[in-house]
Amino acid sequence: MAQNPSRRAFLLRTGLAALAGGVAVPWLSWAAAKVGEAAPAFTAVASTGKSVSLASYRSRIVVLEWTNHECPYVRKHYETGNMQALQKEATGQGVVWLSVISSAPGEQGYVSPAQANELTQSRGAAPTAVLLDPKGTVGRMYGATNTPHMYVIDEAGILRYAGAIDDRPTTRTSDVQGAHNYVRAALHAVAAGQPVPAPVTHAYGCTVKYAA
Amino acid sequence: MQPELSRDVGARPVAVPPDAERPPRQWTRWLPVAFAGAALLLGSAPPGLAASEGQGAGPKVRVELVSEVESLAPSQSFWVGLRERIAPGWHTYWSNPGDSGEPTALEWALPRGFAAGALVWPHPDRVHVGPFVSYGYTGEVVLLTRLTAPRDLEPGARVTLRGRATWLVCAKICIPEEAPVALALPVTAGKPSADVHGATVISRARGAVPTPSPWTASFSTTPDAVVLTVAAVGLNRERVTDVWFYPARWGVIEHAAPQAVTVAADGITLRVRRGVLPVATETPIEGVLVITERLDGGTAGQAFSLRALPRGLTGSTVADARPSVTLLQAMALALAGGLLLNLMPCVLPVLSVKALSLVEHAGARAAILRGHGVAYTAGVLASFGMVAGVLIALRASGEWLGWGFQLQSPLVVTLLVDVLFVLGLSLSGVVLIGGRLAGAGQALTTRLGYAGSFFTGALATVAATPCTAPFMAVAIGYALAQPWATALLVFETLGFGLALPYLLLTLVPGWRRLLPRPGPWMERLRQFLAFPLYAAVAWLVWVVSQEAGPQGVAVALAGLVLIGFAAWLYAASRAVSGPWRRAATATVALLALAAVGLGPVVGSRPSSPTGAAVPDPRGLSFEPFSTERVAELRAHGIPVFVNFTAAWCITCLVNERLALRSSAVAATFARKGVVSLKADWTTRDPQIARVLESFGRSGVPLYLLYPRAAAGREAGEPTVLPQILSEEMIIDAVERI
């Protein structure tokens, strides 16, 4: 972090930034998935070893949950049982729930397939599948920045919600009670064929620990 | 110099150690060791990595409450600060934490009757974590709160101010931490005394809190970007080393995207990729702009709080440039806008004169008239193409400009003033060149006049530039967000709209029958039409006054006098012949050149910041500086304060607003009998330059405080005050003389 760069460096940087206008530059990959547009297709390996592709869930509602079991914000929702309850409620209504782990090897939250399965079991979680994305391909495709970061895709494959799990951006477990759960609201709206009340919200949590 | 910049360095400890990016890795490297140890001690496996993060290494942030006062009085308002000392490599968050994170919170549990304001945040820094950017603090930060004591406070009692601070501290991994904080203060009956240590800490923190922007700001949006324009007129590009905009809300911009900044004489333009929250740009954008300015021997970061209003690209309030219009709609709007341009006061006279000449020569051969119509249209289209081409090229090179960008240059505006004035004079009948310019008379009946018609078209374009017709804003806003070919198409459609009425009159003979019969009314109308032009001239001179100040107005008006004289001389000398006529023509040419040559003088003088805040009447009043005046005052034993400043110096501006305009400072100066002089270096005065040089400076700000000279004795050397002033600092220095 060059705090006081020389003028030359500054001019160079801003000049380059200006020149980069139309060229594909790294940050452009960040808002790839847009709410209201088709959700980007992907295929990833699940913790069971099976290959999972989004396309195979066409005509079903899909939830994507970015997670990192060591992140205090994720723990808030698992230690209170909040996340598991929502998973069970959703999958009970035929919704496909995919938990995605984009932590790179050596980074916080990275797990082996066996560890992932063990976590699901020990925490009583109920996702349809846990996807391992150590290269961050799916994460970057969706512009996932936080854990938890939640997405809802409708039956037609359109991304309908992206953002936080609820409206209490804290690690306090006491804040789970009484919070407004955006994902539940989005699921209800999509199931009822209604527009999602808050389609984009500020995802809160830890940064996704992508490979550098 | 370093201590002088302590406001910058202390309150926003930007000097991140070189290993700032690394700690997480080192941390995770020895974590397993810590684990093994913990597991051995406890005899059981730890539940998870994070469980031991906070405990194993102790808190990453140490907090304490700091007060600017040592004791309290009833009804008193005072600042307290939550001071966070953050472990190296870790950071806490600003009110908008950026890509992730959570701002610090302070929940008060104050004694009955006390009131607490909201947290006041020093400006943040960018903290890079992987591909993300967070807004926060490293090293140390002091978050401020204004507390007010109740009226019924008992002198002699002791009150304890309690609260609970919660914060998230992150390196690459994050730890939520919290701690109770408390501060006990005695209550006194009289004036409460300042806590010397606490007051310094608080004052430094307050120096890093953004001050309201002295400049207006606006923004426009494209499907991909937000473009913020700050009317910081007259800044010196050489002095600005860094500019960054921190939005107050999440979702307005991509936090991690580069910000393309242009610092020009007319202000700062910042272009950044749009955030993911579409509604965020439907309301004014608020945030903090941090400008890092190069000073003698260092840099200083100045933070301004901004509220940018949405605008169309033409500067009008036409909603948003993010168009829902299609290309066809944009072209239709451009055509309508172009047609309406014909009615604008700067264009109407030019067009009317063309139309009048048609009336006079309605009997001319249809083919020749058509030729003139086509030549005129070609002139309009060629010149529109040129202006649009320049605009598109400049934008491609990173300048973020809109239609009418030419008018941001006082030089161009001055030249337009000259051109419109000449046209006006010709319509008034002072000089006949206008007749020829407008393609009247002989020219229209022959093919020889085609060039004249072409240039009338160009002239109509020039005259049209200051005018914005309704519908144009939307069309231009659309065009500028498109690839260059599409943009050019829309601009040319606009030009075609401008040319269309005259073109139709020449192409369709039937329409000419609708024109009234020729008669003496034509001369009256022609003379009358000079007045819209004079009105346009008056308006443009006002524009010059905004851009270049009184100096610019003087130059523009002098140019008008020269042009008026030249026009008269030209007309008068047509009656004579031979050498006199030639001499007069040469003089006219010289005068015209002189008038135009005056233009550049306008641009060369740095202007004063027109957007600057209205001076606060409570502050210090300054006399102009001269070395003689200093010597004279000192000879009379009067202490002198000299403020070396410039309109383009941001730090000077902030110092004036934060410190020199304070009523407490003014009161202290008055009590001590200090006379204040202002040395304005906006225009590089050589006398001031010499003084600056004698203090080893190459630029402003410089603040000198000459002590009271004892009678008959050589006066002492002046005190050089720091480049970054605070109220306390000046008062302290003045008290000591």
Residue of A nearest to B237 (CA): A7
Residue B170 contacts A, CB cutoff 8 Å: yes
Query: Hunting for tokens 């000049």 — which residue is that?
Result: A15
Look at B349 and B287; give whichever has higher pLDDT: B287
Of A19, A172, A207, the CB nearest to B129: A207
Q: Is the pLDDT of residue B717 over 90?
A: no
Q: Do A72 and B174 lie within an 8 Å CB cutoff?
A: yes
Residue A118 contacts B, CB cutoff 8 Å: no
DSSP SS3 for B316: coil
Q: Do B258 and A71 lie within an 8 Å CB cutoff?
A: no
Q: What is the pLDDT of residue B526?
A: 81
Q: What is the pLDDT of residue B604?
A: 40
Write out chain A residues lying below 8 Å of B49, CB-based. 70, 108
Q: What is the bridge-based pairing of β-strands B217-221 and B225-230?
A: antiparallel
B81-109 pLDDT per residue, tens:
999 999 999 999 999 999 888 999 999 99
Mean pLDDT of B554-576: 84
Q: What is the pLDDT of residue B263?
A: 86
CATH of domain B623-735: 3.40.30.10
Q: Is the pLDDT of residue B36 over 90?
A: no
d(CA B537, CA B165): 62
Q: Is the pLDDT of residue B312 over 60?
A: no
Q: Is the pLDDT of residue B220 over 60?
A: yes
Closest residue by Cα to residue A54 from A63, B140, B1: A63
Of A4, A20, A72, the CB nearest to B241: A4
d(CA B137, CA B89): 11
Q: What is the pLDDT of residue B655?
A: 85
Q: Do B14 and A3 lie within an 8 Å CB cutoff?
A: yes
d(CA B683, CA B624): 14
DSSP SS3 for A186: helix
Closest residue by Cα to residue B451 from B465, B437, B471: B437
- Lowest-confidence range among B15-24, B487-496, B504-513? B15-24
- Lowest-confidence range among A20-29, A73-82, B187-196, B455-464? A20-29
Measure in Å the smallest separation between the Cα of A126 and chain B Cα atoms.
21
Local confidence pLDDT in tens for the 212 residues of chain A: 333 434 444 444 443 333 333 333 333 344 468 899 999 999 999 999 999 999 999 899 999 999 999 999 999 999 999 999 999 999 999 999 999 999 999 999 999 999 999 999 999 999 999 999 999 999 999 989 999 999 999 999 999 999 999 999 999 999 999 999 999 999 999 999 999 999 999 999 999 999 87
Q: What is the pLDDT of residue B408?
A: 60
Measure in Å the smallest separation between the Cα of B559 and chain A Cα atoms.
37
Of A1, A7, A203, the CB nearest to B238: A7
What does the block give as tokens for B265? 């004489």
Phi-psi region of B242 (alpha: psi -120 to 50; beta: other; left: phi over 0): beta
* Superfamily for domain range B2-185: Thiol:disulfide interchange protein DsbD, N-terminal domain (2.60.40.1250)
Q: What is the bridge-based pairing of β-strands B240-247 and B640-645?
A: unpaired
- Lowest-confidence range among B34-43, B126-135, B262-271, B411-420? B34-43
Residue A171 contacts B, CB cutoff 8 Å: yes
Q: Do A72 and B256 lie within an 8 Å CB cutoff?
A: no
Measure in Å the smallest separation between the Cα of A76 and chain B Cα atoms.
11
Phi-psi region of B396 (alpha: psi -120 to 50; beta: other; left: phi over 0): alpha
Residue A26 contacts B, CB cutoff 8 Å: yes
Residue of B nearest to A3 (CA): B14
Mean pLDDT of B46-65: 58
Task: Give residues with Cβ within 8 angstroms of B332, minimum separation 6.
Answer: none
Q: Do B16 and A171 lie within an 8 Å CB cutoff?
A: no
Residue of A nearest to B238 (CA): A7
Write out chain A residues lying below 8 Å of B277, CB-based. 200, 202
Task: Give residues with Cβ within 8 angstroms of A49, minimum separation 6.
Answer: A113
φ, ψ for residue B616 (rounded to 5)? -85, 120
> How many CA atoms lie within 13 Å of B42's alpha carbon, on the beta-carbon side?
11
Q: What is the pLDDT of residue B607?
A: 36
Q: What is the pLDDT of residue A184?
A: 96
d(CA B431, CA B447): 24
What does the block give as tokens for A122? 């020990």
Measure in Å the smallest separation between the Cα of B14 and chain A Cα atoms.
7
Domains B2-185 and B212-310 share a fold: yes
Q: Is the pLDDT of residue B221 over 90?
A: no
Look at B336 and B472; give whichever has higher pLDDT: B336
Mean pLDDT of B713-723: 76
Q: What is the pLDDT of residue B43?
A: 32
Residue of A nearest to B22 (CA): A212
d(CA B311, CA A55): 42
Look at B600 and B679; give whichever has higher pLDDT: B679
Residues β-bridged to residue B145? B80
Mean pLDDT of B381-392: 85
Residue A122 contacts B, CB cutoff 8 Å: no
Q: Is the pLDDT of residue B1 over 80?
A: no
What does the block give as tokens for A192? 């009822």
pLDDT band at B608 (very low <50, low <70, confident <90, very high): very low
Contact B24, B173 (CB under 8 A): yes
Interface of B with A in 214-243 (CB under 8 A): 238, 240-242
Write out chain B residues lying below 8 Å of A143, CB-based. 276
Interface of A with B in 43-102 (CB under 8 A): 69-73, 75
Residue A167 contacts B, CB cutoff 8 Å: no
Mean pLDDT of B217-231: 89
Instruction: List the single best residue of A66, A108, A170, A175 to mutate versus B (max B Cβ within 10 A).
Output: A108
Locate the domains of chain B by residue range: 2-185, 212-310, 327-529, 623-735
Instruction: List the single best residue of A78, A206, A209 to mutate versus B (max B Cβ within 10 A).
Output: A206
Which ipTM score applies to this complex?
Answer: 0.77
pLDDT band at B710 (very low <50, low <70, confident <90, very high): low
Q: Do A18 and B271 lie within an 8 Å CB cutoff?
A: yes
Locate the domains of chain A by residue range: 31-207
B637-674 pLDDT per residue, tens:
889 999 998 877 778 878 887 788 888 898 899 898 99
User: Per the omega criterion (within 30 degrees of 0), is the bond before B701 cis?
Assistant: yes
Q: Do A206 and B125 lie within an 8 Å CB cutoff?
A: no
**Cα–chain center distance at B726:** 24
Of A3, A35, A210, the CB nearest to B130: A210
Residues β-bridged to residue B247? B287
- Lowest-confidence range among B129-138, B317-326, B499-508? B317-326
pLDDT band at B31 (very low <50, low <70, confident <90, very high): very low
Query: Hunting for tokens 């406890």 — which residue is that?
Result: B42
d(CA B228, CA B251): 15
Of A27, A34, A207, the CB nearest to B254: A27
Interface of B with A in 352-411 (CB under 8 A): 396-398
Query: Hunting for tokens 């349809």 — which residue is that?
Result: A128
Closest residue by Cα to residue B82 from B159, B162, B14: B162
Residue of A nearest to B134 (CA): A207
The CATH architecture to which A31-207 belongs is 3-Layer(aba) Sandwich (3.40)
The pTM (predicted TM-score) of the whole model is 0.58
Contact B724, B8 (CB under 8 A): yes
Q: What is the pLDDT of residue A21?
A: 34
| Dihedral over Cα of A164, A166, A170, A176: its sign | negative
Q: Is the pLDDT of residue B12 over 60?
A: no
Contact A207, B100 (CB under 8 A): yes
Q: What is the mean pLDDT of chain B?
A: 77
Q: Do B130 and A207 lie within an 8 Å CB cutoff?
A: yes
Task: Give residues with Cβ within 8 angstroms of A39, minimum separation 6.
Answer: A33, A54, A62, A142, A151, A153, A157, A158, A159
Q: Is the pLDDT of residue B541 over 80?
A: yes
| Candidate CATH numbers 3.30.70, 2.60.40, 3.30.200, 2.60.120; the one for domain B212-310 | 2.60.40
d(CA B645, CA B643): 6
Distances (CA, A) of B489 to B381, B462, B476, B715: 11, 19, 11, 72
Closest residue by Cα to residue B609 from B211, B240, B231: B231
Measure in Å the smallest separation between the Cα of A164 and chain B Cα atoms.
11
Q: What is the pLDDT of residue A50?
A: 95
Contact A203, A166 (CB under 8 A): no
Residue B1 contacts A, CB cutoff 8 Å: no
Q: What is the pLDDT of residue A68?
A: 96
Question: pLDDT above 70 covers what percent of chain B?
Answer: 78
Look at B474 and B611; give whichever has higher pLDDT: B474
User: Per the omega criterion (within 30 degrees of 0), is the bond before A148 cis?
Assistant: yes
